[in-house]
Amino acid sequence: MKDKKKEKMIAQDIKIEPHKKSDTDKVLPVKLTGNSRFKFNCHKGVKCFTACCSNINIVLPPYDLLRLRKRLGMSSEDFINQYCEIEILAKTLLPVITLKMQNDEKRSCPFVTPDGCTVYEDRPNICRYYPIGMATLRNKEAEGGKDEFYFLTKEDHCKGFEEDKEWTIAEWRKDQEADVYDDVNRGWMDILIKKKSFGEREFPEIKNQMFFMVSTNTDYFRTFVFESSFLDTYDIPAGRIEKVRTDDAELLKLAYEWLRSAMFAQEPLIFKEGVLAARKEQADAVMRKVYGGKDKE
Ligand code: SF4
Ligand code: SF4
């Protein structure tokens, strides 16, 4: 079977791009905003129902993965083993999780049936956005150092454009709850953009492992927060700590801040008073041991 061009959520800069099924499918070269309007509807009555649910490459950001595995009542490990593949994301060299298509002729999504998506309420964000795409470009002059915009993809097989329903992109995102997913995943996307700014430079393996742990295993990260010296190290308000205990979205946002500290030496998390001084003292003690009490020349 012809290997069709893959759809991806990529970090170049970062793009959420709808499924592309053939060379005649068109990404319309127009930058759109939240107020841009388009006509589209998707429902069980369209002739192409579920035609977009095969032969696609769906990267699962942390919140997408979390929602799916909880929906299925699975641990991260079991979900990844059964439904996912690990991919090194182009231009960031970071390991990410993608949904594994089935081995049938169409390479169907594991969750599609003739009646539609069996995980609909927890479907990945890219399925929510479709047929809209979103891109984030680094732009020092733009607010927050990045320029976010949307674009539309018209695919031959998709009859949703023949429907009369009209939306703004902001209405579509809200209706599909893509705004909820974006809110949680934004910090993760920022890490991809930041990593891409380092070019093809590889980071120490330990940093890739930290990124992968945060991206795939929220339970492990929660244990790390509450059972290591994490809370003795960082100054985190008590109210936030309590939220993180039970709220996965809050936990992920904290995880991204920690990752930025660990991967890029950025300081979204503030050290507790005395932590830096104690670390310096430890480092000095090591140096004294190495140099036998003499100053390093
Ligand atoms: S997760 Fe659901 S909506 Fe997304 S491709 Fe699979 S079946 Fe389709
Ligand atoms: S209308 Fe488009 S989005 Fe809806 S099922 Fe058909 S191909 Fe998929």
For residues 266 and 195, what is the distance between their CA atoms, to the nearest angstrom?
12
Is there a domain that residue 284 lies in? Answer: no
Write out the residue range of the structural domain in which residue 48 sits: 9-178
- Dist. CA 155 → ligand 2 center (Å): 9
Residue of 82, 85, 110 lying closest to 97 (CA atoms): 85
- Dist. CA 224 → ligand 2 center (Å): 42
170 lines ligand 2 (CB under 6 A): no
117 lines ligand 2 (CB under 6 A): no
Per-residue pLDDT of 7-62, as tens digits, reads 333 333 445 554 544 555 577 778 899 999 999 999 999 999 999 999 999 999 99
1 vs 57, more confident = 57
* Residue 133 · residue 17 · CB < 8 Å: yes
Is there a domain that residue 230 lies in? Answer: no
Q: Provide the residue count of the chain.
A: 297
Residue 105 CB-half CA count within 13 A: 0
pLDDT over 90 for what percent of the chain?
62
Q: What is the pLDDT of residue 166?
A: 97
In this structure, of 21-30, 125-134, 217-226, 239-248, the range with the lowest mean pLDDT score is: 21-30
Is there a domain that residue 128 lies in? Answer: yes
- Dist. CA 2 → ligand 1 center (Å): 21
* Residue 59 · residue 97 · CB < 8 Å: yes
Is there a domain that residue 241 lies in? Answer: no
Is there a domain that residue 156 lies in? Answer: yes
The mean pLDDT value for 83-103 works out to 92
| Ligand positioned closest to the Cα atom of 131 | 2
Residue 8 CB-half CA count within 13 A: 15
112 lines ligand 2 (CB under 6 A): no
Indicate the number of domains in the chain.
1
Is there a domain that residue 99 lies in? Answer: yes
The mean pLDDT value for 238-255 works out to 96
Residue of 239, 242, 244 lying closest to 255 (CA atoms): 244
Is there a domain that residue 245 lies in? Answer: no
In this structure, of 73-82, 148-157, 241-250, the range with the lowest mean pLDDT score is: 148-157
Is there a domain that residue 102 lies in? Answer: yes
133 vs 200, more confident = 133
Q: What is the pLDDT of residue 29?
A: 74
